[in-house]
Amino acid sequence: MAEDILRQIIVERTQVSETTVSFSELGKMWYEIYKENVKASTVGNVKSRMRRIMKTLGAITSDKLEPSVINKFLLDCLQKDNLRYSVVSNDKSIIIRILIFGMQYGFVKERNYKDLITIPALNKSKKDDLKYLEVKELESVIKQLIALDQKK
């Protein structure tokens, strides 16, 4: 069903030899196919992320969407919006998937977007130096402590 909708949109666009679409339209086309192939929880997560992405990038036409524009958007997410690195990295992944989809159907220039779109290492979660026991390890420690206590 989603593929039929996409084919119809592509036919309509190619009939008038128009291959420029807004990033929002391109995202909708990609999303219609994507949502059919993932779990419902993933669909909700991606839809939420796309709303934020499209607020800023959605109106830009596919022929004007340069990697530098996307990089600026991602940097603003880190610095101005103070989003965590992992959140922005997920947004980057969605944007790249949409662009690759756009390349496959002639809406976006062929480029190596994975290399051109980057995120500076800001707002990364800090790893603590604490070591945690796995459940089985903890159970073993407790059994040993109980055995020691019973020997007294």
pTM exceeding the 0.75 threshold for the entire prediction: no
Task: Give the domain CATH number at 39.
Answer: 1.10.150.130
Look up residue 132 and give its amino acid: Y
Supply the range of the domain harboring residue 108. Answer: 2-127
The answer to the question of residue 149 being in a domain is no
Please write the tens of the pLDDT for every residue from 129-152: 677 778 888 889 899 888 888 886
The answer to the question of residue 81 being in a domain is yes
Our count of domains for the chain comes to 1
The answer to the question of residue 135 being in a domain is no
The answer to the question of residue 56 being in a domain is yes
pLDDT band of 5, cuts 50, 70, 90? confident
What count of other Cβ atoms lies within 10 Å of the Cβ of residue 147?
9
Distance CA 94, CA 89 (A): 9
